[in-house]
Amino acid sequence: MNHQKIDWSQLWQPGPTRVFSDAELARAGDQRPSRTLLTMVMINMALVSMAVMQAAPPRATALLTGILAAAAFASLRLGQRLWRKPSRRLLTVCTVALVLGCGVVAALARLRNGDAEVRQWALYTCWGVALLASFGFWFLAVYRADQIAARLRELDERERAIEMARQLAAAQIQPHFLFNSLASLQHWVEAKDDRAAPMLAALTGFLRTTLPLFNQTRLRLGDEAQAVRQYFEVMRLRLGERLSYRIAIEPAAAEVQVPPGLLLTLAENAIEHGVQASLAGGPVLLSAGVAAGRLTVDMLDPGAGPAADAGEGVGLVNSRTRLMQAFGPSATITVSAVPGGGGLARIECPAPTTTTQP
Amino acid sequence: MNPTVLIADDEEAPRAQLQAALQRVWPEADIVAVCANGVDAWDAFLEHDPAVCFLDIRMPGLSGIDVAQRIGSRAAIVFVTAYGDHALAAFDAGAVDYVMKPVDDARLTQAVARARQRGLLPAAPIAGLADMLAELAAQVRRPAPLVVIQAGIGKEVRMIRTEDVVYFESDSRYTRVVYRADGSDGEALIRTPLKELLAQLDAQQFWQVHRSVIVSQRHIASAVRVDEGNMHLLLRGRSERLPVSRHFQGLFKGQ
């Protein structure tokens, strides 16, 4: 919403502008009014009534009690409806209904009563009730609309967080990767091929280094690079001469604390889109260094780089979100095509100086 | 005659495992081609015309889905995939058969029985198959089509725009590129095999009409049936005729 622009319609029809759909109300509008709120409303109503009774002459008490009780009953019922559906339209309807009701009561009291002072008091009470209730309705609708909007935002955020956690969990070990690796392993065991033992060792190493990674919110870049090395080793055994790899992490870069899963995501993308998708395959290079307080991680693959028309995968988008959550907007992940051939994924983020450096 | 089988998987071990398992559960099958990518698989299909094709889904060049789309209902297709593949849900709908890696003998026997049964029926389009494959193909990430071809001629590298190409023809170790640019005809030889080129071209513009010929459909003037099995193409403003092999004659059927 544009807060700079004055919404003049609030002048003749005040109230919340957001209109909630039935689905939104069902999702976020199921809370009951709190006991505190109800108690405060009751106390205020009682105080106002007592003040009116005190000021009014005793002969008007019966009539005023009737008017106040009816008004309290009507405004609570209307307030209940507004609570369930705090729309500007319903607010207008409720306010108009209440004001009209007060008008009718005031007119009746005038006809039926000969005492001028009692008539005067009845009229004042009606208008006072109408004024207070209108203001109360307006406050209720605005408060309630804000509450539902906030609840919707909260639910959305929670869903996003759950989705991120789910995808992070899925990113730990791709079942596709695991079963394809087991297929190779099974064949080599059956065929008594010499590659079975190193394959089993690399796969075990990968699982051992990868599984604990995701229990942490931050980990040393060097630790994740170790998991990536095991991953590359499994893939090198599987793909044969289509893949060769090199990992070059500077000591200072290895100590930087990063959110888990970033390097593995880049490594999986490099293998899947850069190596496995190309007929010839080629080398993959992971390098990381720190310069001027910033960490740069490069994953270079022999592929064609990002397709111009295709969007980015969920893995990359999630990684970027997690990186920005950890380091703020100056942290970036970019993917590009390298002139002369190859795809490059680059992470850049601040590298907080660590005390573990000698 | 023994039933013929094609196997394609880009990884050596699963490929060999499937081959060994097939030989166990279906000894009379004749494995005519074992391919390491989609491009080779399609080429081998054209060469051997196998009855059953076992295709891995994720392969370089052409994916298993791409190859299956080209084969259509001309052979029984069995996809070979690993748990966690996004395509699994589509297969569960039942349009085609699939086996999961690592392949186990019992499940493979079942798939073989189904494929053989299908082989006995006349080649009829399977309901929903084309739609399912089209949907799956849309999910496969593929590189942008080739825009320019660099052909070395002596000391010169000629830049031939693909839109100027009339046709490509396989010529033993090379691919002959016949094109027409700026009003004059030209020819060049490139080293990229035709089957690899196929995966990089825009399939709407370039039609494969023979195992060794890909032609730009804009330059086709007419297709002429010579006799029962033979057809050839006449090109606009050119005298040569290009052969259309049996597999591709369905492209030209009149409306």
Contacts of A187 in chain B (CB under 8 A): 13-14, 16-17, 20, 102
Q: Tell whether the model's pLDDT for residue A354 goes beyond 60.
A: no
Contacts of A178 in chain B (CB under 8 A): 83-84
- Mean pLDDT is lowest, of A231-240, A285-294, A324-333, for A324-333
Residue A278 lies in a domain: yes
Contacts of A273 in chain B (CB under 8 A): 141
Q: Are the beta carbons of B13 and A184 separated by less than 8 Å?
A: yes
A163 lies in the same domain as A177: no
Nearest CA in chain A to B60: A277
The SS3 assignment for A256 reads coil
Residue A81 lies in a domain: yes
The ipTM value here is 0.77
Q: Say what the pLDDT of residue B127 is.
A: 63
Mean pLDDT of A56-79: 87
A97 lies in the same domain as A210: no
The SS3 assignment for A269 reads helix
Q: Are the beta carbons of A191 and B142 separated by less than 8 Å?
A: no
Residue A3 lies in a domain: no
The SS3 assignment for B165 reads strand
Among the partner-chain residues B12, B39, B100, the one whose CB lies closest to the CB of A279 is B39
Contacts of A240 in chain B (CB under 8 A): 12
Residue A182 lies in a domain: yes
A165 lies in the same domain as A183: no
In sequence order, the β-bridge partners of residue B235 are B220
d(CA B70, CA A160) in angstroms, rounded, equals 40
A33 lies in the same domain as A108: yes
What dihedral angle (degrees, nearest 10) is formed by the CA atoms of B201, B202, B207, B208?
Answer: 30
User: Is there a common fold for B4-139 and B148-251?
Assistant: no
Q: Are the beta carbons of A179 and B102 separated by less than 8 Å?
A: yes
Q: Are the beta carbons of A187 and B82 separated by less than 8 Å?
A: no
User: In this structure, what token pair is assigned to residue B126?
Assistant: 């399977």
Contacts of B100 in chain A (CB under 8 A): 179
Q: β-strand A257-258 against A219-220: which pairing, if any?
A: antiparallel
Give pLDDT tens digits for A172-207.
667 888 889 999 999 999 999 999 999 999 999 998
What does residue A255 show for φ and ψ, rounded to 5 degrees?
-85, -10
Q: Say what the pLDDT of residue B50 is.
A: 93
Q: β-strand A282-291 against A243-249: which pairing, if any?
A: parallel
Q: Tell whether the model's pLDDT for residue A1 goes beyond 70.
A: no
**Which residues 6+ apart lie within 8 Å of B159 measured at CB?**
B148, B149, B150
∠A72-A76-A79 over CA atoms, to 5°? 135
Q: Say what the pLDDT of residue A357 is.
A: 44
pLDDT band at A251 (very low <50, low <70, confident <90, very high): very high
- Domain limits of chain B? 4-139, 148-251
How many Å lie between the alpha carbon of A175 and the closest alpha carbon of chain B? Answer: 5
Helices (H) and strands (E) counted in chain B, each on its own, are: 7, 15
> From chain B, which residues contact A within 8 Å (Cβ)?
10-14, 16-17, 20, 37, 39, 58, 60-61, 82-85, 100-103, 141-144, 196
In sequence order, the β-bridge partners of residue B170 are B175
- Is pLDDT larger for residue A2 or for residue B226? B226
Q: Are the beta carbons of B102 and A276 separated by less than 8 Å?
A: no
Q: Tell whether the model's pLDDT for residue A93 goes beyond 60.
A: yes
* Residue type, position B161, single letter: R
Q: Tell whether the model's pLDDT for residue B125 goes beyond 80.
A: no
A287 lies in the same domain as A310: yes
d(CA B232, CA B253) in angstroms, rounded, equals 13
Mean pLDDT of B85-111: 78
Q: Tell whether the model's pLDDT for residue A324 goes beyond 60.
A: yes
Q: Tell whether the model's pLDDT for residue A352 goes beyond 80.
A: no
Q: Say what the pLDDT of residue A358 is.
A: 44
Rounded to the nearest angstrom, the gap between the alpha carbon of residue B177 and the centroid of all alpha carbons in its chain is 20
Residue A328 lies in a domain: yes
Domain B4-139 classified CATH 1.10.3210.10? Answer: no
Nearest CA in chain B to A191: B17
Q: Tell whether the model's pLDDT for residue B120 goes beyond 70.
A: no
How many Å lie between the alpha carbon of A41 and the closest alpha carbon of chain B? Answer: 56
The architecture CATH gives domain B148-251: Beta Barrel (2.40)
Contacts of B58 in chain A (CB under 8 A): 272, 276
Q: Domain boundary residue among A141, A169, A197?
A: A169
Q: Are the beta carbons of B39 and A191 separated by less than 8 Å?
A: no
Among the partner-chain residues A279, A309, A310, the one whose CB lies closest to the CB of B37 is A279
Among the partner-chain residues B14, B37, B85, the one whose CB lies closest to the CB of A184 is B14
A238 lies in the same domain as A159: no
| Contact predicate B68/B79, CB 8 Å | yes
Q: Are the beta carbons of A279 and B60 separated by less than 8 Å?
A: yes
Q: Are the beta carbons of A279 and B82 separated by less than 8 Å?
A: no
A177 lies in the same domain as A136: no
Give pLDDT tens digits for B29-60.
999 999 999 999 999 999 999 999 999 988 88
A158 lies in the same domain as A275: no
Q: What is the 8-class DSSP label of residue A270?
A: I
The SS3 assignment for B36 reads coil
Q: Domain boundary residue among A169, A203, A220?
A: A169
Q: Which of B54, B65, B101, B196 to mutate to test the interface with A (most CBs of A within 10 A)?
A: B101
Residue A358 lies in a domain: no
Residue A356 lies in a domain: no
Q: Are the beta carbons of A179 and B11 separated by less than 8 Å?
A: no
Q: β-strand B4-8 against B52-56: which pairing, if any?
A: parallel
Contacts of B10 in chain A (CB under 8 A): 276
A164 lies in the same domain as A177: no
Nearest CA in chain A to B39: A279
Q: Are the beta carbons of A191 and B16 separated by less than 8 Å?
A: yes
How many Å lie between the alpha carbon of B87 and the closest alpha carbon of chain A? Answer: 11
Nearest CA in chain B to A273: B141
Rounded to the nearest angstrom, the gap between the alpha carbon of residue A281 and the centroid of all alpha carbons in its chain is 40
Is A294 exposed, middle or buried (CB count within 10 Å of its CB: 0-12, 13-18, 19+)? Answer: middle
Q: What is the 8-class DSSP label of residue A292?
A: T
Q: Tell whether the model's pLDDT for residue A285 goes beyond 50.
A: yes
- Judge if the upstream peptide bond of residue A339 is cis by omega within 30 degrees of 0: no
* Residue type, position A84, single letter: R
Q: What is the 8-class DSSP label of residue B219?
A: G
* Residue type, position A31, single letter: Q
pLDDT band at A160 (very low <50, low <70, confident <90, very high): confident
**Residue in the block written with tokens 């996004």:** B86
Domain total for chain A?
A: 2
Give pLDDT tens digits for B190-236.
999 998 898 888 888 999 999 999 999 999 999 998 887 889 999 99
A154 lies in the same domain as A96: yes
Which sign, positive or negative, has the C-alpha torsion A250, A252, A254, A256? negative
Residue A2 lies in a domain: no
Is A250 exposed, middle or buried (CB count within 10 Å of its CB: 0-12, 13-18, 19+)? Answer: middle
Give pLDDT tens digits for B127-175.
667 777 777 777 666 667 888 999 988 889 999 999 999 999 998 789 9
Q: Are the beta carbons of B10 and A277 separated by less than 8 Å?
A: no
Q: Which of B43, B83, B98, B99 to mutate to test the interface with A (most CBs of A within 10 A)?
A: B83
What is the edge-to-edge ordering of all strands in the sheet holding B76-82? Answer: B30-35, B4-8, B52-56, B76-82, B97-101
Q: Domain boundary residue among A122, A150, A169?
A: A169
Q: Say what the pLDDT of residue A119 is.
A: 84
Residues spanned by the domain of A116 = 9-169
Is A118 exposed, middle or buried (CB count within 10 Å of its CB: 0-12, 13-18, 19+)? Answer: buried
Q: How far is CA B159 from CA A337, B156, B166, B223, in A?
A: 21, 10, 15, 30
